[in-house]
A and B are shown apart, each in its own frame.
Chain A
Amino acid sequence: MVRFQNVQKSYDGETLVVKDLNLDIATGEFVTMLGPSGSGKTTTLMMLAGFEPATHGEIYLNGNPINNVPPHKRGIGMVFQNYALFPHMSVAENLAFPLAVRGQSKAEQEERVKRVLEMVELPEFGGRRPAQLSGGQQQRVAVARALVFEPDLVLMDEPLGALDKQLREQMQYEIKHIHESLGVTVVYVTHDQSEALTMSDRVAVFEDGIIQQLSSPEELYERPENSFVAQFIGENNKLRGTVQEVGRDKLATVKLDSGDMVKALAVGIGAKGERTLLSVRPERVAIEPKKTKNTVTLTGKVEELIYLGDHIRTRMSVAGHTDFIVKVPNNAEHHELSEGQTTTVGWEAEDCRALDDMAA
């Protein structure tokens, strides 16, 4: 449905904000562009909406190049970060705006506005001004306005950024449900990784104008392809070392800076002698693990214990790193630890990913 082909974007002619972007989005898909601010995700969205011209490359919508199509002819619905509800119009007038532009009759407009207000569960609010609505209600109206003219594609630019945490989570589900029931294609921009993981079919992680990884939320969390994605999505323990050998079973042997030799899944490493960053999720690390064939064990000293109810967050020093986090589940057979105690930690070699070392 949407295709970016070798798209580049520069504002000042000196630096590229978006570098050689290639992205295909299928009809009905919910794709999220995730990344820190300045990573190029919003610029990409603005190019798709037509507010920023691409410096190079071509964007296709339903197979047609749209680089020279002005924004009002693209027929793309858009939800803005600050909602952008017209303050001098009532909610109903806001919703009727795209319909009036399309020359629909008054009766038709009223009918559609009524239906869309029911969809976002604000049937009584048509006569109010946007300023008289709460943040969550404005958000719903903004979504309704982007959908009321039945576009095939809806863009959302950090639409939940201004809401408080609880409301944000509720709206995530509502947007997801609307997406599922209407079957529209959604391109969603956010810097909040939990939002991206909750809502999306696929997530494109942006950094430095490049898509670092494009995959399903599960893939992204379980199998990050590089150290940026591993660090950006969820929590990760980092161990630095040098590649010693890459075996046939995709397991590499790495010599940590502390001198310990460990095995890890080779994902993005170079040849022997190159620097690498090992990444292992805190919940995959066990205290005094049962040994199997590929279990990696190291000694660790407990530095700090934080009681979080369902688990105990344990900060340890392992192989010279003092910020090694282990999540000890608060279940019947968990180990009683005390600060200063020395114990062994371990994980399956497949759960530890040997990635490129960005800092090197």
Chain B
Amino acid sequence: MTDVTASGVPGAITTSDGVPLKVSLARATRRQRMQALLLVMPLLLFLLVAFVLPIGEMLFRSIYSPIGPNVLPNFSKVIHEWDGEDLPPEAVFEVFVKDMTKAKESNEIGKTIGNLATRVNYEIPGSRGLFTKSARKVKNITEGPYKEALIALDKRWENQHIWRTLQRISSNYTASFYLAATDRKYNEDNEIVRADPLYQIYLPILGKTLWLSALITFICLLIAYPVSYLLATLPLRTSNLLMIMVLLPFWTSLLVRTTAWIAMLQTEGIVNNILVFTRVISEESRIQMIYNQTGTIVAMVHILLPFMILPLYSVMKTIPPYYMRAARSLGATGTYSFIKVYFPQTIPGIAAGTLLVFILAIGYYITPALVGGSDGLLISNLIADHIKKTLNWSLGSALGAILLAIVLIFYWIYNKLVGVDNLKFG
């Protein structure tokens, strides 16, 4: 008899001893699959530890802020019952004063008045003093009415805004870092509004980062295209030499290359000296080419250029010369053949190169930090600031998450326009 069961349903085929074919196949390939899994395991673990966990941690930290409940545990439970009108009831004040008194004793990291003051200060700049000052005196309040006593300590406790903010941060999770990262805040009435113009820094910098990255990508493409074409079409010996010149920067330290640009472009640098020497410009009008946007653009184009050249080159290398010849023999001029026949075939390389350079550029840190001055800074420099200087890790994480989201969105758009299977890196 055949191996097909009586019903003849496809997929119900069995082997000659009656075991379903799929089961048998799975058994036969199990060893192979286990081997394959073992081979990729180190990489998988590495990715998990070095990539997935930190990113997960970053995303979590951007919304998780337990300082309110940590410092004022009892207050955080009762403040939720307040309806936000007038001031909280006397009972809430009592709990607050007791929590504050207890917190004053604490010096466990993350649970001190100082932590709380910093956290509230993010929301209401300048409110820090209120907490540190009150914390020193709050132990003198031993009996009610607590509300009057606290207000007597500092008039600012009469302000609804303080209490609404405290109510908001008494939850473990918050959206306020994302609001801050997009230049928004809660106003005194608990509504989300744009931050004061003076504090609007992140969106403009983010916009500038995107614009500069696009510009750098475009300049890279303009420079890389002819270079790659030469690399792909010149005789082997010449193109090898050219290739070494393209790859040479890869073998030099990033820091060395960036500082070399400082030596080149500074006001007393080589370029300015040559311009003055050849009397193109006068001694007084030396051009400021570094520590500003120009410096960032020049240095980053130079550093990211190989990432554009290599995918373009590898795609162009696969385009045989006879396509252009065919086009010419069919009556097309050189320019027309190039536009209609050669260029369309390089699009996968252009797509790969621009995607690579653009994504590298929007997250670039060290070059803008060294040569960017103040107006050549990118969003990653602000993120680094929050991680290293202001220690507002949550805000840094929120900015990082936004950057990640932008990269993913661009990747998605790219996929729609070019198709990721069309990308060719080599």
Contacts and interface: CB of A to CB of B under 8 A. Distances in A.
A84 B331 contact: no
Contacts of A149: 330-331
B344 A72 contact: no
Interface in B183-240: none
Nearest to B326: A84
B332 interface: yes
B250 interface: no
Contact of B331 (A72, A80, A85, A87): A72
Interface centre among A51, A71, A80, A81 (most CB of B within 10 A): A71
A165 interface: no
A145 interface: yes
B345 A72 contact: no
B345 A101 contact: no
Interface in B137-160: none
A98 interface: yes
A72 B328 contact: yes
Nearest to B332: A101
Nearest to A87: B345
A71 B328 contact: yes
B325 interface: yes
Given A102-B331, A149-B330, A84 B325 contact: yes
B345 A98 contact: no
B332 A97 contact: yes
Contact of A84 (B323, B333, B340): B323
Given A86-B341, A88-B345, A78 B329 contact: yes
Contact of B330 (A51, A70, A97, A155): A97
B46 interface: no
B336 A78 contact: no
B330 A49 contact: no
A97 B329 contact: no
B361 to A, nearest CB: 28
B327 interface: yes
Contact of B326 (A70, A74, A75, A80): A80
A82 interface: yes
A281 B333 CA distance: 51
A72 B332 contact: yes
Interface residues of A, number: 28
A70 to B, nearest CB: 8
A300 interface: no
A102 to B, nearest CB: 6
B329 A49 contact: yes
B329 A72 contact: yes
Contact of B344 (A49, A85, A88, A101): A88
Interface string A56-91: 000000000000001111111110111011111000
Nearest to B322: A84
A76 B331 CA distance: 8
A85 B320 CA distance: 11
B104 to A, nearest CB: 73
Contacts of A87: 345
Contact of A72 (B320, B323, B333, B341): B333
Contact of A97 (B340, B344, B345): B340
Contacts of B330: 72, 77-78, 97-98, 101, 145-146, 149
Interface string A22-55: 0000000000000000000000000001110000
B336 A76 contact: no
Nearest to B330: A98
A80 B337 CA distance: 16
Interface of A: 49-51, 70-78, 80-82, 84-88, 97-98, 101-102, 145-146, 149, 155
Interface of B: 320, 322-323, 325-334, 336-337, 340-341, 344-345
18 contacts: A49-B325, A50-B328, A51-B325, A71-B329, A72-B329, A72-B332, A72-B334, A75-B331, A77-B329, A77-B330, A78-B325, A78-B330, A80-B322, A82-B320, A82-B322, A84-B326, A86-B341, A97-B332
Given A72-B333, A72-B337, 6 more contacts: A72-B328, A72-B332, A74-B329, A80-B325, A81-B322, A101-B330
The 9 closest A-B pairs by CB, nearest first: A84-B326, A98-B330, A78-B329, A71-B328, A101-B331, A84-B322, A88-B344, A101-B332, A72-B328
